[in-house]
Amino acid sequence: MFTAAAVGLVVAMALALARALMGPTLYDRILSVNTFGTKTVLILAVVGFLFGRPEFLDIALAYALINFIGTIAVLKFFKYGDLGGTGS
Amino acid sequence: MSDLLVLRIVTKILMPFILLFALYVQFHGDYGPGGGFQAGVIFGAGFILYGLVYGLDALRGVLSSDILRAGFALGLLIFAGVGVAGLLLGGNYLDYNVLASDPVKGQHLGILLIEFGVGLTVASVMISIFYYFAGRGR
């Protein structure tokens, strides 16, 4: 069952990647990269249980945090063109 | 970003957990995935998130560049100091066995101190890199 879930997640990641490559606007690309990151978190968790190493969940947690911060950084940079301002 | 209330509140709620998770990765690194470098990056990422949402000046108010400079020097000093302590206690450089009365305890203590030094340096350097990137042209 974990194998089926992993295969499904890989298909979903391929679709997200296709959207990131084709995406007509910038926000499509950002959204698809964010989705790709979320799917990476899920696949880390699933693969951890698939190979009997549930401590992969730690890595998944770390990835979720970094993914969130990365998305905010990219969005802020494209909206304000500056990472350090308060953006008012 | 002062109009993005959700982002500001979520950042405030999330930041202590990011720092706590970094400490978990740091001190649980002997038994699970993790270690000083990863913990330092996660710790730095917590502060970088704060800096992104509240602005660079707010972050500089929390952690000034002087504190960061002291942080990465101190981390390196801890790393090298543990190595030299091994030398002074009669072993090789970075030989943990001689740090305590019993080699197993010595290994535990040694790796804990080394990883702490690495974590401190990496966290400080990550936040400094963010300062240099975000502070361009101001």
ipTM: 0.80
Yes or no, beta carbons of A58 and B34 under 8 Å apart: yes
DSSP per-residue letters across B15-59: HHHHHHHHHHHHHSTTTSS--HHHHHHHHHHHHHHHHHHH-HHHH
Yes or no, beta carbons of A55 and B32 under 8 Å apart: yes
Query: Is pLDDT of A13 > 90?
Result: yes
Looking at the partner chain, which of A58, A86, A88 has a beta carbon nearest the beta carbon of B32? A58
Residue of A61, A71, A39, A51 lying closest to B48 (CA atoms): A71
Whether the Cβ atoms of residue A66 and residue B126 lie closer than 8 Å to each other:
no
Say how many C-beta atoms besides its own lie within 10 A of residue A18's C-beta.
11
Q: Residue B17, Cα to own-chain centre: how many angstroms? A: 15
Query: Is pLDDT of B124 > 90?
Result: yes
Q: Residue B137, Cα to own-chain centre: how many angstroms? A: 27
| Percent of the residues in chain A that have a pLDDT greater than 70, as a whole number | 98
Whether the Cβ atoms of residue B113 and residue B78 lie closer than 8 Å to each other:
yes
pLDDT tens digits, one per residue of B91-105 = 888 788 887 888 888
Cβ-Cβ contacts under 8 Å between A and B: the total is 64
Structure tokens at B136: 């361009």
Confidence of residue B138 (pLDDT cuts 50, 70, 90): low
Yes or no, beta carbons of A66 and B45 under 8 Å apart: yes
Going from N- to C-terminal start, the domains of chain B cover 5-134
Task: Name the minimum distance, in Å, from the CA of B52 to any CA of chain A.
Answer: 6
Query: Exposed (0-12), middle (13-18) or buried (19+): which is A8, by Cβ within 10 Å?
Result: middle
pLDDT tens digits, one per residue of A70-83 = 888 888 888 888 87
Say how many C-beta atoms besides its own lie within 10 A of residue B89's C-beta.
13
Amino acid identity at A58: D
Yes or no, beta carbons of A86 and B2 under 8 Å apart: yes
Yes or no, beta carbons of A83 and B21 under 8 Å apart: no
Helix (H) or strand (E) holding B11: helix B5-27
Q: What are B's interface residues with A at a Cβ cutoff of 8 A? A: 1-3, 7, 14, 18, 21, 24-25, 28, 32-34, 38, 41-42, 45, 48-49, 51-58, 130, 133-135, 138
Yes or no, beta carbons of A72 and B38 under 8 Å apart: no
pTM for the whole thing? 0.85
